[in-house]
Structure 1
Amino acid sequence: MKLKTVRARQGLLWVRAGFTVFFRQPLAFAALFALFGLVVFVLLQLPAVGPVLALSLMPVATVAFLLATREVLAGRIATPRLALLPLRDPLNRNRLLQLGAAYAAAAIAVVLLSHVLDGGRFAAAIEAIATEETTAAAALEDPLLPWSVLLRLGLMALLSLAFWHAPALVCWGRMPVNKALFASIVACWRSRGAFAVYGIAWFGLTMLFVTLLQVVTALLGLQQVMGLAVLPLTMLVSTIFYASLYFSFVDAFDLSGGPDSSEDEAKTA
Protein backbone atom coordinates (compact mmCIF):
# COMPACT_ATOMS: atom_id res chain seq x y z
CA MET A 1 0.00 0.00 0.00
CA LYS A 2 1.63 3.21 -1.23
CA LEU A 3 0.68 6.86 -0.98
CA LYS A 4 -0.56 8.51 -4.16
CA THR A 5 -0.47 12.16 -5.22
CA VAL A 6 -3.91 13.74 -4.93
CA ARG A 7 -4.83 16.86 -6.86
CA ALA A 8 -6.95 19.56 -5.24
CA ARG A 9 -9.82 19.01 -7.70
CA GLN A 10 -10.23 15.49 -6.33
CA GLY A 11 -12.01 17.03 -3.34
CA LEU A 12 -14.95 17.96 -5.57
CA LEU A 13 -14.93 14.51 -7.15
CA TRP A 14 -15.15 12.89 -3.71
CA VAL A 15 -18.30 14.87 -3.00
CA ARG A 16 -19.78 14.07 -6.40
CA ALA A 17 -18.92 10.38 -6.10
CA GLY A 18 -20.54 10.32 -2.65
CA PHE A 19 -23.83 11.58 -4.09
CA THR A 20 -23.60 9.16 -7.01
CA VAL A 21 -23.01 6.06 -4.91
CA PHE A 22 -25.61 7.10 -2.32
CA PHE A 23 -28.39 7.39 -4.89
CA ARG A 24 -27.61 3.94 -6.22
CA GLN A 25 -28.79 2.46 -2.92
CA PRO A 26 -30.18 5.29 -0.77
CA LEU A 27 -32.20 2.99 1.49
CA ALA A 28 -29.19 0.81 2.23
CA PHE A 29 -27.04 3.76 3.27
CA ALA A 30 -29.91 5.31 5.24
CA ALA A 31 -30.48 2.02 7.09
CA LEU A 32 -26.81 1.77 8.01
CA PHE A 33 -26.74 5.36 9.25
CA ALA A 34 -29.98 4.82 11.21
CA LEU A 35 -28.51 1.70 12.83
CA PHE A 36 -25.47 3.53 14.12
CA GLY A 37 -27.65 6.49 15.11
CA LEU A 38 -29.82 4.18 17.20
CA VAL A 39 -26.81 2.58 18.86
CA VAL A 40 -25.34 6.01 19.67
CA PHE A 41 -28.68 7.16 21.08
CA VAL A 42 -28.84 4.12 23.37
CA LEU A 43 -25.24 4.57 24.49
CA LEU A 44 -25.80 8.25 25.30
CA GLN A 45 -28.45 7.21 27.80
CA LEU A 46 -25.77 5.54 29.91
CA PRO A 47 -24.44 7.90 32.58
CA ALA A 48 -20.76 8.89 32.44
CA VAL A 49 -19.53 6.14 30.12
CA GLY A 50 -22.20 6.61 27.43
CA PRO A 51 -20.54 9.48 25.51
CA VAL A 52 -17.14 7.76 25.72
CA LEU A 53 -18.55 4.53 24.26
CA ALA A 54 -20.35 6.48 21.53
CA LEU A 55 -17.10 8.18 20.51
CA SER A 56 -15.27 4.85 20.58
CA LEU A 57 -17.72 3.52 18.00
CA MET A 58 -16.62 5.97 15.30
CA PRO A 59 -13.82 3.86 13.72
CA VAL A 60 -16.20 0.89 13.39
CA ALA A 61 -18.84 3.12 11.80
CA THR A 62 -16.26 4.50 9.38
CA VAL A 63 -15.18 1.04 8.21
CA ALA A 64 -18.82 -0.06 7.87
CA PHE A 65 -19.53 2.84 5.51
CA LEU A 66 -16.33 2.16 3.57
CA LEU A 67 -17.47 -1.42 3.12
CA ALA A 68 -20.97 -0.28 2.14
CA THR A 69 -19.61 1.99 -0.58
CA ARG A 70 -17.36 -0.79 -1.86
CA GLU A 71 -20.31 -3.19 -1.97
CA VAL A 72 -22.43 -0.74 -3.95
CA LEU A 73 -19.60 -0.08 -6.42
CA ALA A 74 -19.28 -3.83 -6.93
CA GLY A 75 -22.99 -4.08 -7.72
CA ARG A 76 -23.93 -5.83 -4.49
CA ILE A 77 -26.53 -4.87 -1.89
CA ALA A 78 -25.14 -3.07 1.16
CA THR A 79 -26.89 -4.44 4.22
CA PRO A 80 -26.68 -3.42 7.91
CA ARG A 81 -24.68 -6.60 8.58
CA LEU A 82 -21.67 -4.60 7.39
CA ALA A 83 -21.71 -2.90 10.78
CA LEU A 84 -20.46 -6.13 12.38
CA LEU A 85 -18.21 -7.31 9.57
CA PRO A 86 -15.11 -5.33 10.70
CA LEU A 87 -15.34 -6.96 14.13
CA ARG A 88 -15.30 -10.58 12.94
CA ASP A 89 -11.56 -10.71 12.45
CA PRO A 90 -9.86 -10.78 15.89
CA LEU A 91 -6.91 -8.64 14.80
CA ASN A 92 -9.12 -6.03 13.17
CA ARG A 93 -11.46 -6.04 16.16
CA ASN A 94 -8.66 -5.45 18.65
CA ARG A 95 -7.09 -2.67 16.61
CA LEU A 96 -10.42 -0.96 15.93
CA LEU A 97 -11.21 -1.06 19.65
CA GLN A 98 -7.80 0.44 20.41
CA LEU A 99 -8.39 3.07 17.74
CA GLY A 100 -11.83 3.82 19.18
CA ALA A 101 -10.44 4.23 22.68
CA ALA A 102 -7.71 6.53 21.35
CA TYR A 103 -10.25 8.61 19.43
CA ALA A 104 -12.53 8.96 22.46
CA ALA A 105 -9.61 10.01 24.68
CA ALA A 106 -8.34 12.49 22.08
CA ALA A 107 -11.80 13.99 21.48
CA ILE A 108 -12.37 14.46 25.21
CA ALA A 109 -8.92 16.04 25.51
CA VAL A 110 -9.82 18.48 22.71
CA VAL A 111 -13.03 19.46 24.53
CA LEU A 112 -11.21 19.98 27.82
CA LEU A 113 -8.36 21.92 26.22
CA SER A 114 -10.81 24.14 24.35
CA HIS A 115 -12.71 24.77 27.58
CA VAL A 116 -9.52 25.86 29.31
CA LEU A 117 -8.32 28.06 26.44
CA ASP A 118 -11.62 29.93 26.02
CA GLY A 119 -12.36 30.18 29.74
CA GLY A 120 -15.57 28.16 29.41
CA ARG A 121 -17.12 30.75 27.08
CA PHE A 122 -18.48 28.21 24.57
CA ALA A 123 -19.97 25.96 27.26
CA ALA A 124 -21.62 28.96 28.90
CA ALA A 125 -23.17 30.02 25.60
CA ILE A 126 -24.58 26.54 24.96
CA GLU A 127 -26.02 26.41 28.48
CA ALA A 128 -27.57 29.86 28.07
CA ILE A 129 -29.17 28.92 24.76
CA ALA A 130 -30.65 25.78 26.31
CA THR A 131 -32.12 27.59 29.32
CA GLU A 132 -33.33 31.17 28.84
CA GLU A 133 -33.85 33.21 25.70
CA THR A 134 -32.72 36.45 27.37
CA THR A 135 -29.39 35.05 28.50
CA ALA A 136 -28.95 33.34 25.13
CA ALA A 137 -29.03 36.68 23.31
CA ALA A 138 -26.37 38.08 25.61
CA ALA A 139 -24.18 34.99 25.21
CA LEU A 140 -24.36 35.12 21.43
CA GLU A 141 -23.28 38.76 21.44
CA ASP A 142 -19.97 37.87 23.09
CA PRO A 143 -17.31 39.12 20.60
CA LEU A 144 -14.97 36.27 21.54
CA LEU A 145 -17.53 33.52 20.93
CA PRO A 146 -16.64 33.11 17.21
CA TRP A 147 -13.00 32.66 18.24
CA SER A 148 -14.11 29.95 20.66
CA VAL A 149 -16.02 28.14 17.92
CA LEU A 150 -13.09 28.37 15.50
CA LEU A 151 -10.77 27.06 18.19
CA ARG A 152 -12.86 23.91 18.56
CA LEU A 153 -13.22 23.44 14.83
CA GLY A 154 -9.48 23.84 14.33
CA LEU A 155 -8.55 21.34 17.04
CA MET A 156 -11.11 18.82 15.77
CA ALA A 157 -9.77 19.24 12.24
CA LEU A 158 -6.27 18.41 13.47
CA LEU A 159 -7.66 15.40 15.29
CA SER A 160 -9.39 14.26 12.10
CA LEU A 161 -6.05 14.20 10.26
CA ALA A 162 -4.86 11.33 12.42
CA PHE A 163 -8.08 9.32 12.40
CA TRP A 164 -9.38 9.96 8.88
CA HIS A 165 -7.73 7.01 7.13
CA ALA A 166 -6.67 5.07 10.22
CA PRO A 167 -9.71 2.72 10.43
CA ALA A 168 -9.22 1.59 6.83
CA LEU A 169 -5.47 1.25 7.30
CA VAL A 170 -5.79 -1.08 10.28
CA CYS A 171 -8.35 -3.25 8.47
CA TRP A 172 -7.19 -3.21 4.85
CA GLY A 173 -3.57 -2.24 5.35
CA ARG A 174 -3.21 -4.50 8.41
CA MET A 175 -1.25 -1.72 10.13
CA PRO A 176 -0.77 -1.39 13.89
CA VAL A 177 -2.67 1.53 15.38
CA ASN A 178 0.35 3.80 15.80
CA LYS A 179 1.50 3.30 12.20
CA ALA A 180 -2.03 3.78 10.89
CA LEU A 181 -2.36 7.10 12.72
CA PHE A 182 0.98 8.30 11.38
CA ALA A 183 0.17 7.20 7.81
CA SER A 184 -3.20 8.93 8.02
CA ILE A 185 -1.57 12.21 9.07
CA VAL A 186 0.96 12.00 6.23
CA ALA A 187 -1.70 11.12 3.65
CA CYS A 188 -4.05 13.91 4.74
CA TRP A 189 -1.22 16.44 4.72
CA ARG A 190 -0.14 15.42 1.24
CA SER A 191 -3.79 15.72 0.15
CA ARG A 192 -4.40 18.98 2.01
CA GLY A 193 -5.50 20.81 -1.14
CA ALA A 194 -8.10 18.17 -1.93
CA PHE A 195 -9.33 18.12 1.68
CA ALA A 196 -9.63 21.91 1.70
CA VAL A 197 -11.79 21.77 -1.44
CA TYR A 198 -13.72 18.82 0.02
CA GLY A 199 -14.48 20.67 3.25
CA ILE A 200 -15.45 23.90 1.50
CA ALA A 201 -17.73 21.99 -0.87
CA TRP A 202 -19.54 20.23 1.95
CA PHE A 203 -19.92 23.47 3.91
CA GLY A 204 -21.27 25.24 0.83
CA LEU A 205 -23.72 22.45 0.03
CA THR A 206 -24.96 22.34 3.61
CA MET A 207 -25.57 26.10 3.63
CA LEU A 208 -27.32 25.82 0.24
CA PHE A 209 -29.63 23.05 1.44
CA VAL A 210 -30.50 24.95 4.63
CA THR A 211 -31.19 28.13 2.64
CA LEU A 212 -33.42 26.26 0.20
CA LEU A 213 -35.27 24.68 3.09
CA GLN A 214 -35.83 28.10 4.64
CA VAL A 215 -37.14 29.49 1.34
CA VAL A 216 -39.51 26.56 0.75
CA THR A 217 -40.92 26.62 4.27
CA ALA A 218 -41.37 30.41 4.05
CA LEU A 219 -43.17 30.20 0.70
CA LEU A 220 -45.47 27.52 2.06
CA GLY A 221 -46.04 29.42 5.29
CA LEU A 222 -44.59 26.54 7.31
CA GLN A 223 -41.79 28.34 9.15
CA GLN A 224 -42.83 26.55 12.34
CA VAL A 225 -41.73 23.19 10.91
CA MET A 226 -38.28 24.48 9.96
CA GLY A 227 -36.74 23.07 13.12
CA LEU A 228 -38.26 19.65 12.48
CA ALA A 229 -37.15 19.61 8.85
CA VAL A 230 -33.52 20.40 9.70
CA LEU A 231 -33.04 17.02 11.43
CA PRO A 232 -33.80 14.78 8.42
CA LEU A 233 -31.81 17.15 6.20
CA THR A 234 -28.82 16.85 8.53
CA MET A 235 -29.14 13.06 8.54
CA LEU A 236 -29.29 12.98 4.74
CA VAL A 237 -26.20 15.16 4.30
CA SER A 238 -24.32 13.18 6.96
CA THR A 239 -25.14 9.87 5.29
CA ILE A 240 -23.92 11.07 1.89
CA PHE A 241 -20.80 12.45 3.56
CA TYR A 242 -20.02 9.05 5.05
CA ALA A 243 -20.69 7.41 1.69
CA SER A 244 -18.02 9.67 0.18
CA LEU A 245 -15.27 8.74 2.66
CA TYR A 246 -14.28 5.69 0.65
CA PHE A 247 -13.16 7.79 -2.30
CA SER A 248 -10.83 9.95 -0.22
CA PHE A 249 -9.14 6.74 0.90
CA VAL A 250 -8.75 4.94 -2.44
CA ASP A 251 -7.46 8.14 -4.05
CA ALA A 252 -4.79 8.54 -1.36
CA PHE A 253 -3.49 4.96 -1.27
CA ASP A 254 -2.52 2.52 -3.99
CA LEU A 255 -4.72 -0.53 -3.55
CA SER A 256 -3.73 -3.15 -6.10
CA GLY A 257 -6.82 -4.57 -7.72
CA GLY A 258 -9.07 -2.33 -5.63
CA PRO A 259 -12.36 -0.74 -6.72
CA ASP A 260 -12.63 2.48 -8.69
CA SER A 261 -11.27 5.82 -7.55
CA SER A 262 -13.48 8.88 -7.25
CA GLU A 263 -12.37 10.08 -10.67
CA ASP A 264 -13.45 6.81 -12.30
CA GLU A 265 -16.70 6.87 -10.39
CA ALA A 266 -17.39 10.47 -11.33
CA LYS A 267 -16.91 9.61 -15.01
CA THR A 268 -19.67 7.03 -14.81
CA ALA A 269 -22.12 9.41 -13.16
Structure 2
Amino acid sequence: MQAQQLPTYRGWTWLKEGFALWRRSPALLTFLAFGYLLVLVLVSVVPFVGQPVASLMMPILSLGVLNGCRAVDNGRKVGPDILFSGFKGNVQALLAIGGLYLVASLLVLMLTTLIDGGILLKVMTGSRMDESATADPRITGALLLAIALSTPVMMAYWFAPILAGWWKLPPTKALFFSFYACLRNWRPFLAFGIALMVFGALIPGILLGVVGLISPSLAGMLSIPLPLIMIPVVFASFYINARDVFGLPPDVLAR
Protein backbone atom coordinates (compact mmCIF):
# COMPACT_ATOMS: atom_id res chain seq x y z
CA MET A 1 0.00 0.00 0.00
CA GLN A 2 1.40 3.34 -1.09
CA ALA A 3 -0.24 6.71 -1.63
CA GLN A 4 0.22 7.68 -5.26
CA GLN A 5 0.81 11.31 -6.22
CA LEU A 6 -1.64 12.03 -9.02
CA PRO A 7 -1.62 14.79 -11.65
CA THR A 8 -4.10 17.63 -11.28
CA TYR A 9 -6.27 16.54 -14.19
CA ARG A 10 -7.26 13.31 -12.40
CA GLY A 11 -9.40 15.36 -10.04
CA TRP A 12 -11.47 16.55 -12.99
CA THR A 13 -12.16 12.96 -14.08
CA TRP A 14 -13.28 11.53 -10.70
CA LEU A 15 -16.82 12.85 -11.03
CA LYS A 16 -17.08 11.63 -14.63
CA GLU A 17 -15.83 8.15 -13.69
CA GLY A 18 -18.14 8.14 -10.68
CA PHE A 19 -21.05 8.74 -13.06
CA ALA A 20 -19.86 5.89 -15.29
CA LEU A 21 -19.67 3.58 -12.26
CA TRP A 22 -23.16 4.63 -11.13
CA ARG A 23 -24.56 3.83 -14.59
CA ARG A 24 -23.36 0.24 -14.23
CA SER A 25 -25.64 -0.31 -11.22
CA PRO A 26 -27.80 2.77 -10.58
CA ALA A 27 -30.31 1.02 -8.32
CA LEU A 28 -27.70 -0.43 -5.95
CA LEU A 29 -25.51 2.66 -5.71
CA THR A 30 -28.51 4.94 -5.25
CA PHE A 31 -29.79 2.70 -2.47
CA LEU A 32 -26.37 2.64 -0.77
CA ALA A 33 -25.93 6.43 -0.90
CA PHE A 34 -29.39 7.25 0.42
CA GLY A 35 -29.39 4.26 2.78
CA TYR A 36 -26.20 5.60 4.33
CA LEU A 37 -27.75 9.04 4.82
CA LEU A 38 -31.06 7.65 6.09
CA VAL A 39 -29.46 5.39 8.70
CA LEU A 40 -27.34 8.24 10.04
CA VAL A 41 -30.35 10.57 10.20
CA LEU A 42 -32.50 7.99 11.99
CA VAL A 43 -29.77 7.24 14.51
CA SER A 44 -28.92 10.90 15.12
CA VAL A 45 -32.48 11.81 16.16
CA VAL A 46 -32.35 9.47 19.15
CA PRO A 47 -32.23 11.76 22.20
CA PHE A 48 -28.90 12.30 24.00
CA VAL A 49 -26.89 9.47 22.37
CA GLY A 50 -28.03 9.72 18.74
CA GLN A 51 -25.49 12.14 17.33
CA PRO A 52 -22.41 10.55 19.00
CA VAL A 53 -23.53 7.07 17.90
CA ALA A 54 -24.10 8.31 14.35
CA SER A 55 -20.55 9.72 14.30
CA LEU A 56 -19.17 6.40 15.49
CA MET A 57 -21.10 4.56 12.77
CA MET A 58 -20.03 6.86 9.93
CA PRO A 59 -16.78 5.04 9.05
CA ILE A 60 -18.49 1.63 9.18
CA LEU A 61 -21.32 2.68 6.89
CA SER A 62 -18.88 4.57 4.63
CA LEU A 63 -16.92 1.37 4.19
CA GLY A 64 -20.14 -0.43 3.30
CA VAL A 65 -20.90 2.08 0.53
CA LEU A 66 -17.34 1.81 -0.79
CA ASN A 67 -17.53 -1.99 -0.65
CA GLY A 68 -20.62 -1.75 -2.83
CA CYS A 69 -18.81 0.51 -5.30
CA ARG A 70 -15.88 -1.91 -5.31
CA ALA A 71 -18.20 -4.83 -6.05
CA VAL A 72 -19.78 -2.98 -8.99
CA ASP A 73 -16.32 -1.99 -10.26
CA ASN A 74 -15.25 -5.66 -10.16
CA GLY A 75 -18.42 -6.90 -11.80
CA ARG A 76 -19.63 -8.81 -8.73
CA LYS A 77 -23.33 -8.97 -7.94
CA VAL A 78 -24.16 -8.05 -4.36
CA GLY A 79 -27.33 -7.17 -2.49
CA PRO A 80 -28.35 -4.09 -0.51
CA ASP A 81 -27.03 -5.76 2.66
CA ILE A 82 -23.52 -4.79 1.58
CA LEU A 83 -24.27 -1.40 3.17
CA PHE A 84 -23.64 -3.10 6.53
CA SER A 85 -20.59 -5.09 5.39
CA GLY A 86 -18.34 -2.74 7.35
CA PHE A 87 -19.53 -4.46 10.53
CA LYS A 88 -17.81 -7.67 9.42
CA GLY A 89 -14.18 -6.66 9.86
CA ASN A 90 -11.91 -4.37 11.89
CA VAL A 91 -14.92 -2.78 13.56
CA GLN A 92 -12.93 -1.61 16.57
CA ALA A 93 -10.60 0.44 14.38
CA LEU A 94 -13.53 1.92 12.45
CA LEU A 95 -15.31 2.86 15.67
CA ALA A 96 -12.11 4.46 16.97
CA ILE A 97 -11.80 6.48 13.76
CA GLY A 98 -15.38 7.67 14.19
CA GLY A 99 -14.69 8.58 17.80
CA LEU A 100 -11.52 10.51 16.98
CA TYR A 101 -13.32 12.33 14.18
CA LEU A 102 -16.12 13.28 16.57
CA VAL A 103 -13.68 14.56 19.21
CA ALA A 104 -11.72 16.57 16.63
CA SER A 105 -14.93 18.08 15.21
CA LEU A 106 -16.13 19.09 18.66
CA LEU A 107 -12.73 20.60 19.43
CA VAL A 108 -12.96 22.71 16.26
CA LEU A 109 -16.40 23.96 17.30
CA MET A 110 -15.18 24.73 20.80
CA LEU A 111 -12.33 26.80 19.41
CA THR A 112 -14.79 28.89 17.40
CA THR A 113 -16.34 30.02 20.68
CA LEU A 114 -13.26 32.20 21.15
CA ILE A 115 -14.56 34.33 18.27
CA ASP A 116 -18.36 34.23 18.46
CA GLY A 117 -19.02 33.33 22.08
CA GLY A 118 -20.52 29.96 21.17
CA ILE A 119 -23.11 30.94 18.55
CA LEU A 120 -21.86 28.53 15.89
CA LEU A 121 -21.49 25.74 18.44
CA LYS A 122 -25.13 26.13 19.46
CA VAL A 123 -26.29 26.21 15.85
CA MET A 124 -24.36 23.05 14.95
CA THR A 125 -25.56 21.17 18.01
CA GLY A 126 -29.20 21.98 17.28
CA SER A 127 -29.80 24.35 20.17
CA ARG A 128 -32.59 26.88 19.81
CA MET A 129 -31.22 30.29 18.96
CA ASP A 130 -32.64 33.78 18.88
CA GLU A 131 -32.80 35.09 15.31
CA SER A 132 -30.73 38.13 16.22
CA ALA A 133 -27.94 35.87 17.51
CA THR A 134 -27.60 34.06 14.17
CA ALA A 135 -27.26 37.46 12.47
CA ASP A 136 -24.29 38.36 14.69
CA PRO A 137 -21.37 39.41 12.40
CA ARG A 138 -18.95 37.40 14.55
CA ILE A 139 -20.41 34.20 13.15
CA THR A 140 -18.66 34.87 9.81
CA GLY A 141 -15.26 34.81 11.47
CA ALA A 142 -16.24 31.68 13.38
CA LEU A 143 -17.27 29.98 10.13
CA LEU A 144 -13.97 30.86 8.47
CA LEU A 145 -12.05 29.52 11.47
CA ALA A 146 -14.17 26.34 11.47
CA ILE A 147 -13.43 25.77 7.77
CA ALA A 148 -9.71 26.31 8.27
CA LEU A 149 -9.51 23.98 11.27
CA SER A 150 -11.86 21.31 9.93
CA THR A 151 -9.96 20.94 6.63
CA PRO A 152 -7.07 18.91 8.16
CA VAL A 153 -9.65 16.93 10.15
CA MET A 154 -11.44 15.98 6.92
CA MET A 155 -8.11 15.15 5.27
CA ALA A 156 -7.29 12.74 8.08
CA TYR A 157 -10.71 11.12 7.87
CA TRP A 158 -11.12 10.96 4.07
CA PHE A 159 -9.37 7.65 3.35
CA ALA A 160 -9.26 6.34 6.92
CA PRO A 161 -12.26 3.96 6.63
CA ILE A 162 -10.81 2.10 3.63
CA LEU A 163 -7.33 2.01 5.13
CA ALA A 164 -8.72 0.42 8.28
CA GLY A 165 -11.24 -1.78 6.45
CA TRP A 166 -9.27 -2.94 3.41
CA TRP A 167 -5.70 -2.83 4.68
CA LYS A 168 -6.46 -3.42 8.38
CA LEU A 169 -4.42 -0.44 9.56
CA PRO A 170 -4.86 0.68 13.17
CA PRO A 171 -6.84 3.92 13.55
CA THR A 172 -3.93 6.28 14.17
CA LYS A 173 -2.01 4.98 11.14
CA ALA A 174 -5.15 5.12 8.98
CA LEU A 175 -5.75 8.75 9.93
CA PHE A 176 -2.09 9.68 9.40
CA PHE A 177 -1.80 8.05 5.96
CA SER A 178 -5.13 9.55 4.91
CA PHE A 179 -3.90 13.04 5.83
CA TYR A 180 -0.59 12.42 4.05
CA ALA A 181 -2.34 11.15 0.92
CA CYS A 182 -4.66 14.16 0.79
CA LEU A 183 -1.78 16.56 1.36
CA ARG A 184 0.23 14.87 -1.39
CA ASN A 185 -2.71 15.15 -3.77
CA TRP A 186 -4.06 18.59 -2.88
CA ARG A 187 -4.03 19.65 -6.54
CA PRO A 188 -6.36 16.91 -7.87
CA PHE A 189 -8.56 17.35 -4.79
CA LEU A 190 -8.79 21.08 -5.54
CA ALA A 191 -9.78 20.23 -9.12
CA PHE A 192 -12.31 17.74 -7.78
CA GLY A 193 -13.82 20.38 -5.51
CA ILE A 194 -14.15 22.81 -8.42
CA ALA A 195 -15.75 20.08 -10.54
CA LEU A 196 -18.27 19.41 -7.76
CA MET A 197 -19.19 23.09 -7.57
CA VAL A 198 -19.50 23.45 -11.35
CA PHE A 199 -21.32 20.23 -12.22
CA GLY A 200 -23.04 19.64 -8.91
CA ALA A 201 -24.32 23.13 -8.20
CA LEU A 202 -23.59 25.82 -10.81
CA ILE A 203 -24.71 24.10 -14.03
CA PRO A 204 -27.80 22.41 -12.48
CA GLY A 205 -28.73 25.75 -10.87
CA ILE A 206 -28.45 27.60 -14.19
CA LEU A 207 -30.36 24.84 -15.98
CA LEU A 208 -33.20 24.88 -13.46
CA GLY A 209 -33.27 28.68 -13.54
CA VAL A 210 -33.59 28.79 -17.32
CA VAL A 211 -36.24 26.05 -17.36
CA GLY A 212 -38.05 27.82 -14.53
CA LEU A 213 -38.41 30.95 -16.68
CA ILE A 214 -40.17 28.86 -19.31
CA SER A 215 -42.11 26.46 -17.09
CA PRO A 216 -41.88 26.64 -13.28
CA SER A 217 -43.71 23.32 -12.94
CA LEU A 218 -41.21 21.58 -15.24
CA ALA A 219 -38.34 23.07 -13.25
CA GLY A 220 -39.92 21.70 -10.08
CA MET A 221 -40.17 18.26 -11.66
CA LEU A 222 -36.53 18.36 -12.80
CA SER A 223 -35.33 19.38 -9.33
CA ILE A 224 -36.41 15.98 -7.98
CA PRO A 225 -34.30 13.56 -10.08
CA LEU A 226 -31.14 15.69 -10.05
CA PRO A 227 -30.23 14.95 -6.40
CA LEU A 228 -31.26 11.30 -6.89
CA ILE A 229 -28.53 11.06 -9.52
CA MET A 230 -25.96 13.51 -8.19
CA ILE A 231 -25.68 12.22 -4.63
CA PRO A 232 -24.86 8.57 -5.52
CA VAL A 233 -22.53 9.78 -8.28
CA VAL A 234 -20.60 11.82 -5.72
CA PHE A 235 -20.39 8.77 -3.43
CA ALA A 236 -19.12 6.70 -6.37
CA SER A 237 -16.50 9.35 -7.12
CA PHE A 238 -15.19 8.96 -3.55
CA TYR A 239 -14.45 5.32 -4.40
CA ILE A 240 -12.76 6.36 -7.66
CA ASN A 241 -10.35 8.74 -5.91
CA ALA A 242 -9.60 6.15 -3.23
CA ARG A 243 -8.83 3.56 -5.91
CA ASP A 244 -6.65 6.06 -7.77
CA VAL A 245 -4.61 7.05 -4.73
CA PHE A 246 -4.20 3.70 -2.96
CA GLY A 247 -5.22 1.11 -5.53
CA LEU A 248 -7.05 -1.98 -4.30
CA PRO A 249 -5.94 -4.74 -1.92
CA PRO A 250 -4.22 -7.74 -3.58
CA ASP A 251 -7.17 -10.07 -2.95
CA VAL A 252 -9.39 -7.76 -4.98
CA LEU A 253 -6.88 -7.26 -7.76
CA ALA A 254 -6.53 -11.01 -8.09
CA ARG A 255 -10.26 -11.49 -8.89
Equivalent residue of 1:251, what SS? helix
Whole-angstrom CA distance in 1 between matches of 2:122 and 2:106 = 18
Judging changes above 3 Å, is the alpha-carbon distance between structure 1 residues 124 and 108 closer, same or farther for their aligned structure 2 residues? closer
54-63 or 16-25, which deviates more: 54-63
Higher RCO, 1 vs 2 (CA within 8 Å, ≥6 residues apart): 1
Aligned to 2:192: 198
The runs of 5 or more residues in structure 1 that have no matched partner are: 260-269
Aligned to 1:174: 168
Equivalenced residues, count: 250
Q: Amino acid of the residue matched to residue 190 of structure 2?
A: A
Percent identical among aligned pairs is 30
Aligned to 1:86: 86
Aligned to 1:106: 104
Superposition misfits of 4+ residues, deviation over 6 angstroms: 123-127, 129-132
TM-score of the superposed pair, with normalisation by structure 2: 0.84
Whole-angstrom CA distance in 2 between matches of 1:209 and 1:177 = 38
1:251 partnered with 2:244? yes
Deviation at 1:108, TM superposition (A): 2.2
Judging changes above 3 Å, is the alpha-carbon distance between structure 1 residues 84 and 123 closer, same or farther for their aligned structure 2 residues? closer
Whole-angstrom CA distance in 2 between matches of 1:125 and 1:59 = 24
Report Cα offsets for 1:194-246 as digits up to 9, x if no partner. 111111111222222233223323421349959x947x644543321111111
Structure 1 residues 231-246: aligned runs within 5 Å: 233-234=226-227, 236-246=229-239
CA contact (8 A) 1:58 1:100 kept: yes
CA RMSD of aligned residues (A): 3.1
Deviation at 1:121, TM superposition (A): 4.9
Q: Amino acid of the residue matched to residue 210 of structure 1?
A: G
Structure 1 residues 9-20: aligned runs within 5 Å: 9-20=9-20
Whole-angstrom CA distance in 2 between matches of 1:255 and 1:222 = 45
The runs of 5 or more residues in structure 2 that have no matched partner are: none
TM-score of the superposed pair, with normalisation by structure 1: 0.80
